[in-house]
Chains A and B, each alone.
Chain A
Amino acid sequence: MGGATVAFDLSIPSDVQYIEGIVELARQRCRELKFPAQKCSLNVPVALSEALSNAILRGNESLPNKHVRVRAIIDGGSLVFEVVDEGAGFDLKSSNIDCTTPENVEKEEGRGLFLMQRLMDSVESFVDDGNGVRLTLRR
């Protein structure tokens, strides 16, 4: 990512109570970068919440000695979030469920990855000193 700027780079404990603060920070950056209003009030908060809760609950299994690293990167016209946990990783393709089908719409779970994919321009997994997910939102 040549010419990219890091907007924030934080490490948080594996506790879901930290999610709201990180999301608020991301939302502020989104507004400062003058992204469309709904991208700052809906797309970023929901998609980043999903990535963080996956990392905390599934990746790190809420273990207090494990941390989640979250970076926000401004790359040209894109806002990129990288969320890295210390877990075993998961296969994005095999976790891909359409929660809108008649048999799935009444299920309590299974909307997290779906929402990330619908609300971001791209969702990729990567390995970099842990297992990560990269969310990219273009202006």
Chain B
Amino acid sequence: MSFSIKKQGEVVVVDVEGQLIVGNRQELKQKVLDELEKGEKKFLIDFSQTGYIDSSGLGVLVSLSKKIREQGGELRLANLNDDLQTLFELTKLDTLFQISDTRERALESF
């Protein structure tokens, strides 16, 4: 499991490879907060290579979304597979995040 960060235009894109769970959520949080501290405002997390997310992983997404909004920025999500879509619907987090089918659509939406 790992996270890679790159900049596409004005958007910081984070790829989550593997699981987003209690054992690695802090790593994701810190990487995104570091970019936020540098002044970045637009963030996209791409889940195309993600297996599953546990409650602590979901919690980190909620926490990051709040912190980014507090700084006047936006966090959007893309490429949730059927399992992740089900998970977001179960927890009603699909109402909290703007979620796109593809990375391209998400990038265009900013």
Report which A residues bind B (CB closer than 8 A). 16-17, 19-20, 38, 41-42, 45-46, 49-50, 53, 57, 99-100, 105-112, 114-115, 118-119
Contacts and interface: CB of A to CB of B under 8 A. Distances in A.
Contacts of A106: 62, 66, 96
A112 B51 CA distance: 18
B22 A111 contact: no
Interface of B: 1, 19, 21-23, 51-56, 58-60, 62-63, 66, 82-83, 86-87, 90-93, 95-96
Nearest to B61: A108
Contacts of B19: 20, 45
Contacts of A119: 90
30 contacts: A16-B22, A16-B23, A19-B21, A19-B23, A20-B1, A20-B21, A20-B23, A38-B82, A38-B86, A41-B52, A42-B52, A42-B83, A45-B51, A46-B52, A46-B87, A53-B22, A53-B54, A53-B56, A100-B91, A105-B91, A105-B96, A108-B62, A109-B56, A110-B55, A111-B55, A111-B59, A111-B91, A112-B56, A114-B91, A115-B91
B91 A99 contact: yes
A115 B87 CA distance: 8
B96 A118 contact: no
A45 B52 contact: yes
A49 B93 CA distance: 19
A49 B95 contact: no
Contacts of A105: 91-93, 95-96
Contacts of B55: 46, 50, 109-112, 114-115
Contacts of B54: 46, 49-50, 53, 112, 115
Nearest to A107: B62
B82 to A, nearest CB: 7
A111 B21 contact: no
A78 B4 CA distance: 39
Contacts of B60: 108
